[in-house]
Amino acid sequence: MTASKLSEVAQEELFEHYRFNAAKGQEPLRVDKFLMNFIENATRNKIQQAAKQGHIWVNGIQVKQNYRVKAGDEVKVLFEHPPYEQLLTPEDIPLDIVFEDDTVLVVNKPPGLVVHPGHGNYSGTLVNALLYHFSNLPNNSSGRPGLVHRIDKDTSGLLVIAKTEPAMTALAQQFFEKSTEREYVALVWGNVKDDEGVISGHIGRNPKNRLQMMVFPNGESGKEAVTHYKVLERLGYVSLVSCKLETGRTHQIRVHLKHIGHTLFNDERYGGDKILKGTTFTKYKQFVENCFKVLPRQGLHARTLGFRHPGTKEFMRFEAELPRDIAECTEKWRNYTKHSL
């Protein structure tokens, strides 16, 4: 197969994000510098990374970042995933609406529902559902309609959605000022030592595993994060814990609790899908496996959400009861603790 044919095949597997044609008077210019002149908010580092990954093409051929663009060249940036704007299609996905008026919407997100389209999740998200049920939702700073904050795919619970531009601005300001109330319920491995406490530690990307976040206790990397926790119930080898957030970092509760030795129950990404506490008895292992089947995701639920209404200025608080999977798994542990410990 010829090089040009290989290029055609490769392009068929990619999605075009940008295309530019160099003008007739274009002086030779490195392609990374050329693209910085055309792509809004692009950094040279990101463009160079795209080139290293083989995503920059000139006249149908992959090029490195030091390729010099000449007059008449056609420059494309291609990725494995569709451009974000192509993913914003309305989809008839039901919503569990807890509260709604002309300016805000509070929804109870089920586990397994991704909040917004992105790499690996190009459809079937909460944003796709919102676009189907509502029109003219304002975009946040990332171009995501209605979203003020987010929770992980396998975390269930409450989210507030802005229906107007003023509501988006007011709610975003509250999250920035940390004046919202957010409480989560977590089922974690181990008997938490203290009845309550505060976990502080910067959170950033794990350099050894880019899919994970980690705590940098000395603040040498990452962003400041603070979680307040309180034990709700001790169930032998697991505990039910309430967590209140001061900050909203990616995977904050999952990472902070793992940091103090209490990984979320069945949190696959952080090792909670293994038996971390308990006995070596076969009967116990079978019991835990059954619990994993009942709760096939991390045991985390956004139970309480409070904020000041953008219009009335009244402080509103909403609560979503534990979903069935967490409730059933917790009840299994109650029964096990009662009869086996």
Which is it for strands 202-206 and 56-58: parallel, antiparallel or unpaired? unpaired
CA–CA separation, 211 and 98 (whole Å): 32
Number of Cβ atoms within 10 Å of the Cβ of 112: 12
Beta-bridge partners for 21: 74
- 194 part of the active site: no
DSSP character at residue 22: -
Backbone phi and psi for residue 9, each to the nearest 5 degrees, phi listed first: -65, -45
Beta-bridge partners for 35: none
Task: Return the beta strands (E) in 29-154 as ranges.
Answer: 29-30, 56-58, 61-62, 68-69, 74-79, 97-100, 104-109
Beta-bridge partners for 104: 162
CA dihedral sign, ordered 321, 326, 332, 337: negative
CA dihedral sign, ordered 79, 116, 89, 137: negative
Backbone phi and psi for residue 95, each to the nearest 5 degrees, phi listed first: -120, 140
Which is it for strands 156-162 and 300-308: parallel, antiparallel or unpaired? parallel
- Which of 102, 94, 211, 111 lies closest to 157 in space, CA to CA? 111
- Which of 186, 285, 198, 194 lies closest to 238 in space, CA to CA? 186
8 Å CB contact between 310 and 170: yes
CA separation, residue 122 to residues 53, 85, 137 (Å): 21, 11, 19
Which listed residue (73, 152, 154, 325) is catalytic? 152
> In which element (H, E) is residue 176 found?
helix 165-177
> In which element (H, E) is residue 156 found?
strand 156-162
Active-site residue set:
152
